[in-house]
Structure 1
Amino acid sequence: MAECTNCGGFTKFNGGLCFKCFKKNNQQNEVEVAVLEEESETQNKTVEVGLSAKDKNYRYNMIKGRIAETLIQELFLSLGYNVFHYGMENTIPGIMELLKGVRSDVANEIRRMPDFVIQNPKTNEVFFIEVKFRKSGEFLPKHLPKDYPYSNAFIILVSKKHIKCISVKELEEGKEISPSSRNYLGSRKEFELDKDIIIDFCNFAIQFFQGVE
């Protein structure tokens, strides 16, 4: 009589398995195959934890820009200026998020809107202000968007060491802000600023941006 090679029970074929052992063996193989397939899928998956590199960079730059904007806003408020948010992000919160990747004339116009309108309390004169942060301390004519519509605006550049200012007209004439240039915000006669207060805010900038890349 043929015996099962596993349990010694009855089987129809020499060297084979009985029905019970055959069924048990197949079930075990199926489980092992399923486990192996699951492990293989897990190993092949690229699991992204947290923000993507692109989104992380976007958020990081957004935070730097907003810190710089707040710094300049508080600087002018401390000097008695009236400061009004002007950019579309302040008029319609979240719109800049919706415009990520959108390329159109309208989208470009929205992006170009200056950050603030400020008013000198002594003269009532108003100014468009665009705030930028640059670790390099540079703002060159090529950094100005093509056909920038606010030719009477001022660019205030916050860096890790200085707060400098240049008008859009000066940029269009080929002038620039560089680490060695002396176009400090406190030297702009248009604003009649207290240089000591600006020095205080420069020190704030050094503290806030010391470890910024």
Structure 2
Amino acid sequence: MIDMGPDKSVLILLKHCKEMKQQEMHLRLITLLLLLGCSTLFIFTICADLRQREDSASSEQRSPDYSKQDRVCPTDTQTNSKRLRIDLRSESANNKTDPQYLRWNVVFGEKYNKERRAIVIPENGFYFVYVRTALNCHGADRASNFEKFSFALHKWNEGYNMNVTLMDAWDGITCSPDGSKSAFVGQLFELLKGDHVSVWIKQGYKLITNSAFGAYLV
């Protein structure tokens, strides 16, 4: 038996408690590291499995037939070739009486029906259609006269077989030795495949010196 004083016993007990707390902290730290490692491994396994499934699904979708379809899809050039781009210039005519449809010569583009004197719409969509007209009224003996000019934009489709007015325009010019002016109209229209768009001169055909008429898909 060893006789210890009360102070020494307390010091030994405190030292023992301190060592126990250090061991407990070490155990907690080791446990936390193990949990973090297991969680990381679990997440990595799930991500790898999802990536493998996505790769498998992508491989199944891009079968030889699918790849063949990709190769035969229209190119940008082929798509653009279907987009309407046309510009016309008025054709001189001996008969300049009102009213009548303007005749045109093609500057560029292919969708022009000479018989109906109309632009033919190749597919459904929104089209910007424009008409520019140069007017001239000369003669000093008519200096006080004012000549009216008006036209309409018509569309026709064999589906309903009737002319429909898309737009009306009015203008005029005062006759003088050098009297001339230019009129321009343009508007966006929703048109259907097979629509025939033409320019109908109501009044003032004799005032026209030249005209431009065109449309393009937007």
TM-score > 0.5 by shorter chain: no
TM-score (norm 1): 0.22
Larger radius of gyration: 2
TM-score (norm 2): 0.22
**Which structure dedicates a bigger proportion of its chain to helix?**
1
**Which structure dedicates a bigger proportion of its chain to strand?**
2
